């Protein structure tokens, strides 16, 4: 399902002196099948935007189509529609492990499933939970453990399994690798890629403020600043604007910095900024100019 936002505007505490304009006229299309990165500084509106996508924040101004669900059409957004929307768009909040609550890993993930499939049999629940844990690379023997006894990275994966278990088409993750160590970050990004590549989830949307992470992993990006989208496109197009990205104090991937420095000494190399492409183009330049 395709997501189309048009002129999305949102103010917290509207009509009070604490009003905050969190989104201002945000228009963005997220195509089905993309691995979409939402980037921007803290407070730029990223979380407010993504929380509109499954109705956690109700639409107050502008248009929003999520697949064929029109969130602007208030008359049709009855409770049942929200439930349908939430079964299609799974939302993983920032630090989701803080929301684990059940006695065991099994019960926590099963809760996520039963919420959407209340009439399922115990056998179906079991199958779904095992499958979700397996997809997150969690060993079977963790099911009877308390989530509190797992490592930080494992807790996060259990929390993601609790969302994935309901089989959403779109998986939205707010800063999914924040706070993990470098190995844990790579492992989790690889898992997300595998889920995307194998079609378990059609579209993945991640919030990040790490330019390298976005460049290496995303097919498309949108850059938020002060509640607005300043650039959107392929990472290779967005990161070409190193001057503007530096002015926004977001910077570019490390490959972008290096390409700028090479340019300053007269070596101009074209690259899409991924490490692999960067290395190949440097090697080609070296061979061609030997």
Ligand X SMILES: Nc1ncnc2c1ncn2[C@@H]1O[C@H](COP(=O)(O)OP(=O)(O)O)[C@@H](O)[C@H]1O
One character per residue 88-127, x = contact with ligand X (rule: CB under 6 A): ----------------------------------------
Q: Residue 206 has which token pair?
A: 């991640």
Measured CA angle at 220 (ends 239, 267), to 5 deg = 25
Give whole-number Cα distances, 138 to 179, 193, 243, in Å: 19, 16, 42
Residue 22 near ligand X by CB under 6 A: yes
46 binding ligand X? (CB under 6 A) = yes
Nearer to ligand X, 48 or 271 (CB): 48
Smallest gap from Cβ 47 to Mg ion, in A, equals 3
Q: Which of 12, 73, 181, 261 binds ligand X (CB under 6 A)?
A: 12
In the stretch 165-204, what mask flags binding to ligand X with x, by CB under 6 A? ----------------------------------------
CA distances in angstroms from 212 to 117, 218, 233, listed in the order given: 38, 10, 16
Nearest distance from C-beta of residue 251 to ligand X, angstroms: 16
Least Cβ distance, residue 12 to ligand X (angstroms): 3
Calpha distance 270→285 (Å, rounded) = 10
Residue 262's Cβ-side half-sphere holds a number of Cα atoms within 13 Å equal to 16
47 binds Mg ion (CB under 5 A): yes
Termini Cα distance of the chain: 50
Note whether 45 binds ligand X by CB under 6 A: yes
Q: Does 13 engage in binding with ligand X (CB under 6 A)?
A: yes
Q: Read off the DSSP letter of residue 145.
A: S
Judged by CB under 6 A, does residue 47 bind ligand X?
A: yes
Nearest approach in angstroms of CB 221 to ligand X is 14
Shortest Å distance, C-beta 154 to Mg ion? 23
Q: Dig out the tokens for 266 from the structure.
A: 């007269």
Q: Is residue 166 a contact residue for Mg ion (CB under 5 A)?
A: no
- Count of residues in contact with Mg ion, rule CB under 5 A: 1
The CB-side HSE value for 266 (13 A sphere, CA atoms) comes to: 0
Interface residue with ligand X among 3, 28, 30, 40 (CB under 6 A) is 40
The SS3 assignment for 245 reads helix
- Residue 44 contacts Mg ion per CB under 5 A: no
Q: Which does 45 bind (CB under 5 to 8 A by kind): ligand X, Mg ion, none?
A: ligand X
Q: Which does 22 bind (CB under 5 to 8 A by kind): ligand X, Mg ion, none?
A: ligand X
86: Cβ contacts below 8 Å, ≥ 6 apart: 54, 55, 116
Buried-exposed string 14-52: b where 16+ CB fall within 10 A, e elsewhere: eeeeeeeebbbebebebeeebbbbbbbeeebbbbbbbbb
Question: Which residues lie near ligand X (CB under 6 A)?
Answer: 12-13, 20, 22, 40, 42-48
Write out the residues near Mg ion by the rule CB under 5 A: 47
């Amino acid at each position: 399902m395709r997501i189309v936002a048009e002129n999305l505007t949102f103010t917290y505490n509207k009509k009070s002196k604490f009003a905050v304009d969190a989104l201002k006229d945000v228009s963005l299309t997220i195509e089905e099948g993309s691995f979409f990165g939402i980037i921007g500084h803290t407070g730029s509106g990223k979380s407010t935007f993504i929380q509109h996508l499954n109705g956690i924040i109700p639409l107050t101004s502008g248009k929003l189509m999520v697949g064929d669900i029109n969130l602007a059409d208030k008359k049709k957004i009855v409770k049942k529609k929200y439930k349908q929307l939430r079964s299609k768009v799974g939302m993983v909040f920032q630090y989701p492990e803080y929301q684990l609550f059940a006695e065991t890993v099994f019960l926590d993930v099963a809760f996520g499933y039963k919420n959407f499939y209340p009439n399922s049999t115990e056998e179906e629940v079991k199958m779904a939970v095992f499958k979700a844990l397996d997809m997150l690379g969690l060993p079977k023997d963790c099911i009877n453990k308390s989530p509190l006894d797992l490592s930080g990275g494992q807790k996060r994966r259990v929390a993601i399994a609790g969302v994935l278990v309901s089989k959403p088409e779109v998986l939205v993750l707010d800063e999914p690798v924040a706070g993990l160590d470098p190995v844990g970050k790579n492992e989790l990004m690889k898992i997300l890629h595998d889920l995307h590549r194998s079609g378990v989830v059609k579209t993945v949307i991640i919030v990040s403020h790490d330019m390298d992470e976005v460049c290496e992993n995303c097919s498309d990006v949108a850059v938020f600043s002060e509640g607005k989208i300043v650039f959107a496109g392929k990472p290779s197009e967005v990161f070409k604007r190193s001057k503007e990205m530096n002015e926004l104090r977001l910077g570019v991937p490390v490959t972008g910095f290096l390409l700028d420095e090479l340019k300053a000494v007269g070596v101009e190399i074209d690259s899409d900024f991924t490490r692999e492409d960067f290395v190949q183009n440097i090697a080609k330049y070296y061979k061609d100019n030997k």
